[in-house]
Amino acid sequence: MSRSSTVPSFAVISGAQVHGILDGRQKEVVDIVEQAYRIHGDGETVNPPSYFLRFPDRPSSRIIALPASIGGDVRVDGLKWISSFPENVAAGIPRASAVLILNDHETGYPIACLESSIISAARTAASAALAAAKLTEGRERPRRIGFIGVGLIARYIHSYLAGTGWSFDSAGVHDLSAEHAAGFAGYLAQAGDNGEVTVHDSAESLIRSSDLVVFATVAGAPHVHQPEWFSHNPLVLHVSLRDLSPEVVLAATNIVDDVEHCLKADTSLHLAEQRLGHREFVDGTLYDVLTGRLRPRADRPVIFSPFGLGVLDLAVGKHVHDCVAKAGQLAVVEDFFHELRRYG
């Protein structure tokens, strides 16, 4: 049999197809993300550092490459290529755009290119919802939620919390844009199960009135510096990674998804490490929580800081690919691989 007969096909999967597979299936996606975290914790992944493409003439923008490989029952390699251009928001289009390339585990050939802004948002939200559930096991769940930063990721996190059984007596919103804050408050009110929705004019007011605080901003440096704002010991989903000062970090229990990834690139935890000269303030990983090795203290704020691992994108992307293929709806690009004979 010639080698060319084993070359896999290559397909393009649109955002509409991705949305069709993932929409309304929050519990399923959370399970996929949990499985990926367990595979990663068991040492069956390769997840090198992300690579940042930055632009001297556009300092607020960047494009990030996240290469990764995941084993277990998933068995796929690949790359997420995701851009963040904050100025897009003023132009009326989303800040982030992304594609995900999946590579065949046996041959290395790329098998699919998927629109990945939805996959990225879904795996981020699923990670946050998983952490919120596991970090509150055995205790009363938070009843007051607050969102600082109200873009696409905040909306996805809310939908994943709601889709996995969370409801709230009250919800707070704070954003530098009054227009965006009002829009997100309207979304929360329309979604239901959030109680009274309040737009806060300060981060302090929101934090002090919330038992579960979600940071989903584009902040490049800490803007919350007061540990006393967290004296009521809330659960903090620090998804945007750079909002909290070292003082706040060091006064809390700190859980990450991966220590090496989270303590880089001037994240809040990286700044704390630079100040102390060690990492002992990191209490453990979400894998430690999943396996019962770590049970966070109840007498301190608990901060979950997820870097967002490329293996999560691969796990969710492979699930989407397989579902589309099973439905017979793969848009295969015929003859994508052309030069398949070594000597022509």
The whole-number average pLDDT for the span 267-271 is 98
Strand 144-148 and strand 212-215: the pairing is: parallel
Nearest to 131, CA basis, from 246, 250, 238: 238
pLDDT tier at 344 (50, 70, 90 boundaries)? confident
pLDDT tier at 2 (50, 70, 90 boundaries)? very low
Q: According to the model, what pLDDT value does residue 5 have?
A: 57
**In this structure, what DSSP letter does residue 343 have?**
T
pLDDT, averaged across the chain: 95
Tell me the per-residue pLDDT of 149-167, one tens digit each, with 9 for 90 and over: 999 999 999 999 999 999 9
Q: State the DSSP H helix or E strand holding residue 298, giving kind and residue range, or none if neither.
A: none
Tell me the per-residue pLDDT of 286-307, one tens digit each, with 9 for 90 and over: 999 999 999 998 899 999 999 9
Tell me the per-residue pLDDT of 13-52, one tens digit each, with 9 for 90 and over: 999 999 999 999 999 999 999 999 999 999 999 999 999 9
pLDDT tier at 90 (50, 70, 90 boundaries)? confident
Q: According to the model, what pLDDT value does residue 337 have?
A: 92
Contacts of the segment 57-61: beta carbons below 8 A, 24+ positions apart: 58/85, 60/85, 60/86, 60/87, 61/85, 61/86, 61/87
**Beta bridge partners of residue 125, listed in sequence order:** none
The half-sphere exposure of 60 on its side-chain side, counting CA atoms within 13 A, is 9
Q: According to the model, what pLDDT value does residue 103 have?
A: 98
Please determine, for residue 3, whether its predicted confidence score (pLDDT) is greater than 60: no
Residue 291 Ramachandran class (φ > 0 left, ψ -120 to 50 alpha, else beta): alpha
Q: What does the block give as tokens for 12?
A: 């393009």
Please determine, for residue 6, whether its predicted confidence score (pLDDT) is greater than 90: no
Distance CA 262, CA 168 (A): 29
The whole-number average pLDDT for the span 199-208 is 98
Please tell me which residue, 257 or 218, carries the higher pLDDT value: 257
Q: According to the model, what pLDDT value does residue 134 have?
A: 97
Sketch out the chain's domains with CATH numbers. 3-119+310-332 (3.30.1780.10), 125-305 (3.40.50.720)
Q: How far is CA 60 from CA 1, 55, 213, 305, in A?
A: 52, 8, 25, 22
Tell me the per-residue pLDDT of 122-156, one tens digit each, with 9 for 90 and over: 999 999 999 999 999 988 999 999 999 999 999 99
For tokens 């007051």, name the residue: 144
The pTM score is 0.94
Tell me the per-residue pLDDT of 184-203, one tens digit each, with 9 for 90 and over: 999 999 998 899 999 999 99
Please tell me which residue, 24 or 308, carries the higher pLDDT value: 24
